[in-house]
Chain A
């Protein structure tokens, strides 16, 4: 009796916690609100199964608790019941998977008008590179990285000249402009993650990875590294500031291009000196 009630209470408490918990996700600030919808759907379907199975278990524990005069049923199999449960479960799985895959298709299909930017990750900080007026990012190579050329840009590539180098942990983006972030790492794995955008992807040394999103709310959002990258992992932060058109142009005007930086040729800012620890 007591046992059945406690088990049932644990389930009821879980439901209550879910609905009254003050802890819930931060309001979405990108186009990926449909990820939240998929999660809500999954909550309802799987939550119903969890509650049903566990309450049924509690009921059995209460109804069929030991009595000396009771004899348990002897029933090795019930093909019909097993068959029905199997297909019902399969149906539930399809209901969860199908919408998920539709959204995933969207996630991996970058729109043509996306603004390509580069995120450079290193132990332990973030830098960024934006294309200049030509809208194309120049070629880079890790062999070319030096004090004078901290991004390793290929100076022979005409596209690199006007690239804008943001050697700062704070990035600005224009509202409602789809962005394709191309992720590049100098050393180990990192992950460019802004909880409000819902999107993330690892950065790897040696290859360029990417994902896309459209910022739909102005504001300042914290960047967290979401792939363990060594002792300074927890301190690898930055901010994304989503601006209206005008504020964005003001910020952009203050940034320096590769050509200018290279011309200065002073290498005053070592990449490694960015280390916040």
Chain B
């Protein structure tokens, strides 16, 4: 929007002239750039709740589907932990089953739970509401996106039932082993996995274009980019990353499917196995790794950036203080997103690629620590001199800070190429990525659910269950993954079905048993959380409007919880950022985004 276009159309809302000689601040309202969006009005039950085009319902559909498949991922992790803690105790856990559990657990949690939940779930629910739009710009495509995701999930589940079972190639699916008979599920299992991933990417692209274009084109008047809540900045940037990164995964999936089904050799060099030479040749297994990690590293930030954004908003609201250094926070998100595309080979330091790449990728990787550290400083500086309500969303946000800083600094170990040499492919890596992209983002998922549940359902989650859920999850998960780093120091490699009496492992037996018990307890607690979600839906304490006294638009819809079309007859006009808490000079404790300067003439806000 150019300045000349708007300059002539400033409408000053006349303030109450009785205020004597004091000139109230003029209210700047940018002109409408386009007519109101025409909205599809669903009539029947099917079009309202099943094949639904309302982003809010699609968001809930995404979230429920992701949670359901995530529970399968959780239960698979129990199988792994039982085997690691108490080997030779459970006869149903053979090596093939173990490796299949490892693989499916990883893939489900990263792609089908976290990515789908943050972007499909929170993205759909929050983007239109927070930027002041009635819906996504392409509601029909948005609906198809969810159904593609569901089909992808169903294909994934189907792979459990084909001959040979699901693939056990590890979530990285490295060829050649992924498609050779030495790996479980190298027949139909891997094919269905690759098809499911491809469907996921197609479905995600439909949703992702929606999120990006809605943020860029459908913001309400006055909602400049630099007034967007950080939640939207996080989800928006993550979606851009995903749109650029997923195609690499997509082509890798197609190429490996062809290698597997029609005998091409994209990733297959000359191979001698099982007493004979295969009819492959000329391909490169490292090519797959480059494609996979060109997707896989941004994927880490696809999960992390929405978490960064959401946690910023939650901390700010519950500490009754503006987020510290908003502009720096926005730029940090953008810079992290950009850098995330030139660090991928730090997953491949010992892959056999040219070792001189190590210098470049170690440098870029450690540079990312700078904007990331700034974000951490700004979260704790937001707490500084705040007025902190220790609500459950706030507790989970604090848990996020601890686990994220912990997981972040171990990233500095692994990113520094020479330190990665002894630690790669050990439990240090397992502990690192679970802490930083498992536990930390999950803390934010929980914070977000406790925070926005009242908006979605009009009721609060049970507080006692919530507190139990938080303390067991936070302390338990920390007790699982913090000591696990030290197994990596001993030298325990990851993806080992059992260690026999290896000298490295015997000292870790007790620790492994402790971790298994802790994992079972933390896992069961998540079912308590699900119980809380489902019972509070109709039995929870009724929530008043805007219970956390937040400023962003989603809490200020005419209907509470928001209904079809979000904002009633008139879309709101935005005059400020969403962080005007405890503004000096104002008698109001918080000033929502749509409150005009003339309504709070005494507030001494800084330009935002």
Question: Given A10-B475, A25-B490, A66-B387, are A203 and B352 also a contact pair (CB < 8 Å)?
Answer: yes
B388–A46 contact, CB under 8 A? Answer: no
Interface centre among A49, A90, A202 (most CB of B within 10 A): A202
Instruction: Evaluate contact between A64 and B384: CB separation under 8 angstroms.
Output: yes
Q: From residue B87, how far is it (CB to closest CB) to chain A in Å?
A: 10
From residue 471 to 498 of chain B, which have CB atoms closer than 8 A to chain A? 471, 475, 478, 482-483, 486-487, 489-491, 493, 495-498
**Which residues does chain A contribute within 8 Å of B511, judged by CB atoms?**
23
> B60-102: which have CB < 8 Å to A?
95-96, 99
Shortest C-beta distance, A24 to chain B (Å), equals: 6
A206: B residues at CB distance < 8 A: 269-270, 283-285
From B132-140, B168-176, B248-256, give the one contacting chain A.
Answer: B168-176
Q: Point out residues on A near B: beta carbons under 8 Å.
A: 3, 6-7, 10-11, 14, 17, 21-26, 32, 35, 38-39, 42, 46-47, 49-50, 53-54, 56-57, 60-61, 64-67, 70-78, 81-82, 85-86, 89-90, 93, 96-97, 100-101, 103-105, 107-108, 122-124, 142-143, 145, 152, 183, 186-189, 191, 193, 195-196, 198-207, 209, 222, 224-234, 237, 270-272
Q: Which of B26-34, B47-55, B406-414, B558-566 contacts A (4 or more CB under 8 A)?
A: B406-414
User: Given the known A-B contacts A39-B419, A66-B390, are A228 and B170 also in contact in the complex, defined by CB atoms under 8 Å?
Assistant: yes
Give the interface segment out of B336-344, B500-508, B525-533: B500-508
What is the bound-complex CA distance between A23 and B511, given in angstroms? 9
Bound CA–CA A71/B381 (angstroms):
16
Q: List A contacts of B328 (CB < 8 A).
A: 77, 82
Given A10-B402, A77-B325, A142-B270, A195 and B412 touching (CB < 8 A)? no
Q: Point out the residue from A72, A200, A230, A272 that lies within 8 Å of B177, measured CB to CB.
A: A230
* A237 CB to nearest chain B CB (Å): 8
> What is the total number of residues of chain B having a CB less than 8 Å from a CB of chain A?
110
* Interface assignment of B324: CB less than 8 Å from any CB of chain A: yes
A225 partner residues in chain B, CB cutoff 8 A: 493
Where the two chains meet, the residues of B that have a C-beta atom closer than 8 Å to any C-beta of A are: 95-96, 99, 168-170, 174, 176-177, 180, 182-184, 269-275, 277, 283-286, 319-322, 324-328, 350-352, 355-356, 358-359, 362-363, 366-367, 369-370, 373-374, 376-378, 380-381, 383-390, 395, 398, 401-402, 405-406, 409-410, 412-413, 416-419, 421-422, 424-426, 471, 475, 478, 482-483, 486-487, 489-491, 493, 495-499, 502-504, 507-508, 511, 579, 581-584, 606, 608
- In the bound assembly, the distance between CA atoms of A115 and B387 in angstroms comes to 66
In the complex, what distance in Å separates the CA atom of A195 from the CA atom of B487? 12
A151 shortest CB reach to chain B, Å: 11
Contact status of A57 and B380, CB under 8 A, knowing A26-B490, A231-B99: yes
Do A97 and B370 touch (CB < 8 A)?
Answer: no
Known A-B contacts A145-B277, A202-B352, A230-B180; A187 and B272 likewise in contact (beta carbons under 8 Å): yes
- The distance in angstroms between the C-alpha atoms of A124 and B497, with both chains bound, is 14
Query: How distant is A230 from chain B, measured CB to nearest CB, in Å?
Result: 3
Q: Are B355 and A202 in contact (CB under 8 A)?
A: no
A120 to chain B, nearest CB (A): 11
Question: Does A73 contact B370, Cβ atoms closer than 8 Å?
Answer: no
Give A231 to B378 CA distance when docked, in angstroms. Answer: 46
The verdict on A104 contacting B398 (CB below 8 Å), with A187-B273, A224-B493, A234-B496 known, is no
Bound complex: CA of A191 vs CA of B273, how far in Å? 17
A188 touches B421 (CB 8 A): no
Q: How far is the CA of A124 from the CA of B274 in the complex (A)?
A: 11
Please indicate the chain B residues that have their CB under 8 angstroms from the CB of A50 in the complex.
Answer: 405-406, 409
**Do residues B380 and A53 form an inter-chain contact, with CB atoms below 8 A?**
yes
List chain A residues, Cβ under 8 A from B370. Answer: 86, 89-90, 93
| Partner among A3, A203, A227, A272 whose Cβ is within 8 Å of the Cβ of B398 | A3
Q: Are B366 and A7 touching (Cβ within 8 A)?
A: no
Q: Point out the residues of chain B lying under 8 angstroms from A152, CB to CB.
A: 272
Does B277 lie within 8 Å of A142, measured CB to CB?
yes
Q: How far is the CB of A234 from chain B (nearest CB, A)?
A: 4
Q: What is the distance, in angstroms, from B607's C-beta to the closest C-beta of chain A? A: 9
